[in-house]
Structure 1
């Protein structure tokens, strides 16, 4: 294959950025050949921006039946990711979805099963996996340099959003429009990186406020505690109502501690494992010798372009995916578990009860202000304003 011909479903804010990356040759051996959106205004924009050589479709059926491409990027509202990915994969197209993988794991699990049987290259836009900071932390963990995991803490509160942000679209911050708040809109990257680096927890206890800082129906403040199979623990704190916010990841193992903050990676490295020191030291007060190491970071943070290029290379020559689409369920599982824990006021084991989660989510969708508005007009907005 000389060039991967790509069609994009959803050319809102994010979809149009991906489209422009393709038409400006930022991704070698890839070209934009088609776009699809229910918004006539966005299609007119595409006509003016890309000309007649990029085909435009208002209807998804016509888009999939056009044979105008051999790979599809799905950049639509969250709920549509699994269903559109299933259609694309079953139609024989390589597929890349935006984050999150979906709103509830039950739908994402069905998508993953289709992907595994399709034989097509299936990726997800977890562009933070290209960040050399997080890649280095994963390397230190995977290599055993940090030792056995003991504790992990991520404070990610630099997502501040004013009320006007939420007022900009009736679908924003609603159960029926987005399926969640800060966890599902702002945090999918961090939840993915958290499990990518530290592994999946075995159970979750979460506390969250819904509309604490804003006039919205979904969560805008979350504190969650998790436990891992080996006894390690973790805390995840996030909010869209704090200014100034913090973005600090701290991972502690028995051989030291790693901190990422302000674009720097610092490793407090123990000369001997804390567990070994604890067993062998006989001097009363004391602690292992510790070296503070500023870890050099090499490589570019290629972000979205890097993920698209990697995906197209996987299609063309079998390159290993940085972010396989089937891994999108992992971060979403943690998010779903956090929601279910807060809704039911109890611990939630992982794997979680997917039927119970969907039941609880459905109740909230039915009471959602956006759903009521859509019922009044008899349609649900699925435009590509991601």
Structure 2
């Protein structure tokens, strides 16, 4: 194979955005040969903006069976991601999936199992993993420069969304349409980075999700969660779509200092000796380890979505290691599912979560929503 023939499923904002940079030739080794959308607006857009060498389908499964593609990019509503990916795996097609991996981990685990039975490439569109800021943070953790992780805090509240945003589509901010609110729609990248940069998943979660607190919606729009890790470290995650001005501040404390990422800068407060060593040897009353404030240089630009697409294509053509392996999509989703479940049960939730219990609660939320709207199942 000298070029990857790609089919895009879903011609909403994200699907059209990905097509745009491919049409401009900004990703090498890939050719858009087909698209699929079941909705008339997407079909009209394709007819008006894509040439005759791109075949339009109204059924993604027909597109998969057409012989015109080697890989698919899934850019459809959340619930459909696993179903479409599994269908692609069954046809030996490579898969690049938009975030989130799915709505609940039970369906995503089935997707991962299907991928494991094939030899195709499977990647998530976790484009923030290509951001030099987070790559540098991960390097500081992986190299041991930060020492053992003690605490993680992420305040990510610059997701402001007005009521008109939620009113723009009946599927928005509903349990049946999206499967959640700020955690499933806005935060998948941060939840992924939270565990990816430190190489640790929480062992248990206690969360407080507020549903329709700031807007007339049925899903969560304000969340504060506390987590514990296996090594004794703790963490806090705070997010909302109803706060202005918002904040985006990630702070990671370790045995050898702390790192803060805010305003597109990475600052490292580096201890000359580890806190553990200082505490074991210091004999004075008041004192603290000597600390240097280091503005860490971060080189390079963020290739963003194009970077993940290029990596996906390179993995297919040249067996390049994936930046965001598809099977890792379940990790951030596991954390957000745990936050929901903790709120619904008003209790701690251990990870991995009870997937059947989560699924049963989700179905109850969907049914309650239907009853409020007078919709028959």
TM normalised by structure 2 equals 0.98
- Write out aligned runs for 1:120-199 (5 A): 120-198=120-198, 199=200
Matched, 1:20 2:20: yes
Take 1:161 and 1:290, find their aligned partners in 2: how far apart are those partners? 40
Shift in Å, 1:372 = 5.0
Provide the residue aligned with 1:317 in structure 2.
318
CA distance in 2, matches of 1:127, 1:372: 37
Which sections of structure 1, spanning at least 5 residues, go unmatched? Answer: 379-386
Structure 2 unaligned segments of length 5 or more: list them. none
Alpha-carbon deviations, 1:92-142, whole Å to 9, x = none? 100000000000000000100111111100000000000000000000001
SS at match of 2:221: strand
Query: Could you tell me which residue of structure 2 aligns to residue 35 of structure 1?
Result: 35
Asked if structure 2 preserves the Cα contact closer than 8 Å seen for 1:177 and 1:370, the reply is no
**Residue 210 of structure 1: how far off its partner (Å):** 0.2
Number of residue-to-residue matches in the alignment: 376
SS in 2 for 1:208: strand
In structure 2, distance between residues paired with 1:350 and 1:371:
32
Q: How far apart are residue 299 of structure 1 and its match?
A: 1.6
Query: How much has 1:366 moved relative to structure 2?
Result: 1.2
Deviations 1:344-380 (A, max 9, x none): 000000011001000000100112259957x56x8xx
State the Cα deviation string for residues 58-85 of structure 1 (Å, max 9, x = none). 1123211111110000000000000100
After TM superposition, list the pairs within 5 Å mapping 1:72-91 onto structure 2. Answer: 72-91=72-91
Higher RCO (C-alpha 8 Å, min separation 6): 1
Q: Which runs of 4+ in 1 moved over 4 A?
A: 369-373
The corresponding residue for 2:109 is 109
Matched, 1:289 2:293: no
Looking at structure 2, the residues matched to 305 and 152 of structure 1 have their Cα atoms a distance apart, in angstroms, of 29
Partner of 1:381: none
Distance in 1 between residues matched to 2:297 and 2:77, nearest whole Å: 38
Q: Deviations over 1:227-246 (max 9, x none)?
A: 00010000000000000000
What is the alpha-carbon distance in structure 1 between the residues aligned to residue 61 and residue 329 of structure 2? Answer: 26
Matched position secondary structure for 1:293: strand
Is 1:278 the counterpart of 2:279? The answer is: yes
2:235 maps to 1:234: yes
1:316-357 deviations in Å (ceiling 9; x for gaps): 000000000000000000000000001100000001100100
Conserved? CA contact 1:365–1:371, under 8 Å: no
Deviations 1:207-256 (A, max 9, x none): 01100000000000000000000100000000000000000000000100
Instruction: Measure how far apart 1:20 and its partner are.
Output: 1.4
Of the structure 1 ranges 34-43 and 78-87, higher mean CA displacement relative to structure 2 is found in: 34-43
* Distance in 2, Cα, partners of 1:143 & 1:191: 22
Partner of 1:255: 256
Alignment RMSD (CA, Å): 1.2
Question: What is residue 66 of structure 1 aligned with on the other side?
Answer: 66
